[in-house]
Amino acid sequence: MSAIPEEFLKQTARMSDEVTRPFTNSKKIYIEGSRPDIRVPMREISQAVTHSDSGVEENPPVTVYDTSGPYTDPAVKIDLLKGMPDVRTAWIEERNDTEILSGPTSAFGRQRQNAPELARLRFEHIRTPRRAQAGKNVSQMHYARQGIITPEMEYVAIRENCRLQELRQDPRYTKLLKQHPGEPWGANLPDEITPEFVRDEVARGRAIIPANINHPELEPMIIGRNFRVKINTNIGNSAVTSSIEEEVEKMVWSARWGGDTLMDLSTGKNIHETREWILRNAPMPIGTVPIYQALEKVDGKAEELTWEIFKDTLIEQAEQGVDYFTIHAGVLLRYVPLTAERLTGIVSRGGSIMAKWCLAHHQENFLYTHFDEICAIMKAYDVSFSLGDGLRPGCLADANDAAQFGELETLGELTQIAWRHDVQVMIEGPGHVPLQMVKENVDKELDDCFEAPFYTLGPLVTDIAPGYDHITSGIGAANIGWYGTAMLCYVTPKEHLGLPNKQDVRDGIITYKIAAHAADLAKGFPGVQLRDNALSKARFEFRWEDQFNLGFDPEKAREFHDQTMPKESHKVAHFCSMCGPNFCSMKITQDVRDFAAKQGVSEQEALQKGMEEKAVEFKKTGAEIYQKA
């Protein structure tokens, strides 16, 4: 422990309070699968009863998808210095197709392991890496294509359903489960997600389960158009600022608020050690952009990058447990000049690095020419491709141009190569795109890339709101998610301006939870409207605590409510702060109903019969309907 910097321990302490505090009236539950070691975490939100003249009505608990990992389970002792509990090792071992290596096989991995000056920073409990036995392929896609349903597949099936089949049998949920028909734009959303459906989607390449065999702490999740829309968050220190402990805390913070996956985009010092800390404590899939680290290894001189340096970096990171790699293999020499007349040229870091390399050597992108070798590494650890959009537009003006769409076609070609190796693939997308041009991006991706999952940044639908780009991009994200994008990469309010702090990360995540949920609702994903219905009922019945607790951010909702109505009594008040006690529309509506109910007839019938004398009676009681302020 003494090896760990003091500030880090402090940070850890702080974290367990603010970052791991359970949500009010929420309970961590685990749904067991076909075997006891498949335990899928969910969050159950309990509700208060409803009191009315007709008696007391129970409001059943609402189960929600839970990304927060063991951090919100009071039964788990969190120790960031030791790392998270192991979820998958037994599953991996029983497949009997991997071997434990004696140590890192990458040159850089060995170098970092043996550098004494790094002891201060190094995670203490590093596992020796695991790799596929010679000639074996350990990718989930490979198993799926053999017809094998892995525990990972069963796990995500249970997770996606969120107990829907169980709730459908429970009369307490009948009304809450009402949902509008969606417009899925060709997505195929089954009534129940079975392990076999998961297997089939993974086999077809229409969904991926990013799950490196060296990341056993992972709680498996799935990314695909026919599943819940997911969101990715980014963290990463840079030359300018940030530190290991900040990054680990941001990762846990991201899990708390709903991040489904996380990319470590660190570009500063000690990337290797930062990554180890993050992976050993991360319940979600971790992605990276290996070219960033490779560039550090050549002091930022793009033209000095080589296939050997890059290959060593891939192995280094794969053996740490990175679940997906962004690889900009679609930035071809012939596309680079197409960006010369753009308003903002090439804005993807990876894209510009490769473009510069191509021009410097006047050779084809080595990621493209070595793609088969890359696939060979990916399948030995089950790292998924996130084929990078190095030529994505950096502003509205450059949207949907020849460079962007040329690269997208090449990504489709690479997808087929990866699939020949049974390697999982998703495709990255823009960027900055005006609203009327968003759908074309999805349609073209589904077409050119054979329905491989689409993973987009935003897109921002306008360029003129720096400081609010979580919102400019949240609008594009909701739409592109609806049209068929499988995962949305979040954007924080600091985009284009600075590095996000914890509050920015939270704002970005909640904005993207909203976008992803809006997309699920619009597509008609089964059961997703239940939470909206439950919250709306709570709102209508002035169950303030339930309204807070059913939302994406109960703490913010409570804080806002208390700014106007601080008293505890207000939380049970049958009025809201907008109108005050004498003047609340929901109150009036309830009065109208109660009145009709008192007459023992529905308003409908009452009106049909005509209700003159009832009207008189109503006038008499009417005055009392208003509470005094």
Q: Is 48 in the site for its own copies (CB under 8 A)?
A: no
Of 49, 148, 497, 572, the residue at the interface with its own copies (CB under 8 A) is: 497
Q: Is 622 in the site for its own copies (CB under 8 A)?
A: yes
SS3 for 520? helix
φ and ψ at 286, to 5 degrees? -110, 130
Identify any residues that bridge with 451 across adjacent strands, giving them in sequence order: none
Of 256, 523, 525, 546, the residue at the interface with its own copies (CB under 8 A) is: 523
Q: Is position 348 annotated in a ligand binding site? A: yes
Do the beta carbons of residue 288 and residue 275 sit within 8 Å?
Answer: yes
For its own copies, the binding residues in 469-488 under the rule CB under 8 A are 470-472, 474-475, 478-479, 482
Q: Is position 391 annotated in a ligand binding site? A: yes
- Residue 487 to residue 313: CA distance in whole angstroms: 26
Q: Is 186 in the site for its own copies (CB under 8 A)?
A: no
Least distance in angstroms from the C-beta of 159 to its own copies:
19
Q: Is position 342 annotated in a ligand binding site? A: no
- Residue 408 to residue 452: CA distance in whole angstroms: 12
Q: Is position 470 annotated in a ligand binding site? A: no
Q: Is position 506 annotated in a ligand binding site? A: no
φ and ψ at 230, to 5 degrees? -105, 165
Q: Which one, 145 or 349, has the nearer CB to its own copies?
A: 349
Number of CB atoms found within 10 A of residue 496's CB: 12
Identify any residues that bridge with 263 across adjacent strands, giving them in sequence order: 234, 287
Q: Is position 531 annotated in a ligand binding site? A: no
Q: Is 503 in the site for its own copies (CB under 8 A)?
A: no
Least distance in angstroms from the C-beta of 38 to its own copies:
28
For its own copies, the binding residues in 207-246 under the rule CB under 8 A are 238-241
Which CB contacts under 8 angstroms, 24+ apart, belong to 41-48?
41/66, 41/69, 41/73, 41/219, 42/66, 42/159, 42/162, 42/163, 43/68, 43/72, 45/549, 45/550, 47/534, 47/538, 47/543, 47/546, 47/549, 47/550, 48/543, 48/545, 48/546
Of 220, 285, 493, 526, the residue at the interface with its own copies (CB under 8 A) is: 493
Least distance in angstroms from the C-beta of 323 to its own copies:
23
For its own copies, the binding residues in 76-105 under the rule CB under 8 A are none
Q: Which one, 17 or 613, has the nearer CB to its own copies?
A: 613
CA 240 to chain centre: 27
Of 537, 542, 543, 546, the residue at the interface with its own copies (CB under 8 A) is: 537
Least distance in angstroms from the C-beta of 480 to its own copies:
12
- Residue 329 to residue 406: CA distance in whole angstroms: 12
Q: Which one, 126 or 465, has the nearer CB to its own copies?
A: 465
Q: Is position 395 annotated in a ligand binding site? A: no
For its own copies, the binding residues in 411-470 under the rule CB under 8 A are 432, 434-437, 461-468, 470
Q: Is position 455 annotated in a ligand binding site? A: yes
Q: Is position 362 annotated in a ligand binding site? A: no
- Most distant pair of Cα atoms in the chain: their distance: 92
Identify any residues that bridge with 429 across adjacent strands, giving them in sequence order: 456
Least distance in angstroms from the C-beta of 587 to its own copies:
8
**Percentages helix, strand, coil for the chain, rounded to the nearest 5?**
45, 10, 40
For its own copies, the binding residues in 549-588 under the rule CB under 8 A are 550-553, 556-557, 559-561, 563-565, 576-586, 588
Q: Which stretch binds its own copies (CB under 8 A): 220-228, 320-328, 373-381, 528-536?
A: 528-536
Identify any residues that bridge with 288 across adjacent strands, giving them in sequence order: 264, 325
- Residue 454 to residue 412: CA distance in whole angstroms: 11
Q: Is position 349 annotated in a ligand binding site? A: yes
Q: Is position 263 annotated in a ligand binding site? A: yes
For its own copies, the binding residues in 355-394 under the rule CB under 8 A are 355-356, 359-362, 394
Do the beta carbons of residue 317 and residue 160 sit within 8 Å?
Answer: no
For its own copies, the binding residues in 139-158 under the rule CB under 8 A are none
Of 221, 529, 543, 545, the residue at the interface with its own copies (CB under 8 A) is: 529
Q: DSSP for 544-572, please give it.
A: HHHHHHHSS-HHHHHHHHHHH--SGGGGG
Residue 276: both structure tokens together:
């180890």
How many residues are recorded in the chain?
Answer: 629
Residue 47: both structure tokens together:
């509700």
Q: Is position 292 annotated in a ligand binding site? A: yes
Q: What angle do CA 490, 253, 489 make, to 5 degrees?
A: 10
For its own copies, the binding residues in 258-277 under the rule CB under 8 A are 267-268
Q: Which one, 85 or 581, has the nearer CB to its own copies?
A: 581
Least distance in angstroms from the C-beta of 164 to its own copies:
17
- Residue 69 to residue 57: CA distance in whole angstroms: 33
Q: Is position 428 annotated in a ligand binding site? A: yes
- Which residues fall in the annotated binding site? 234, 263, 292, 328, 348-350, 389-392, 428, 432, 455, 496, 576, 579, 584
- Which residues fall in the annotated binding site for Zn(2+)? 432, 496
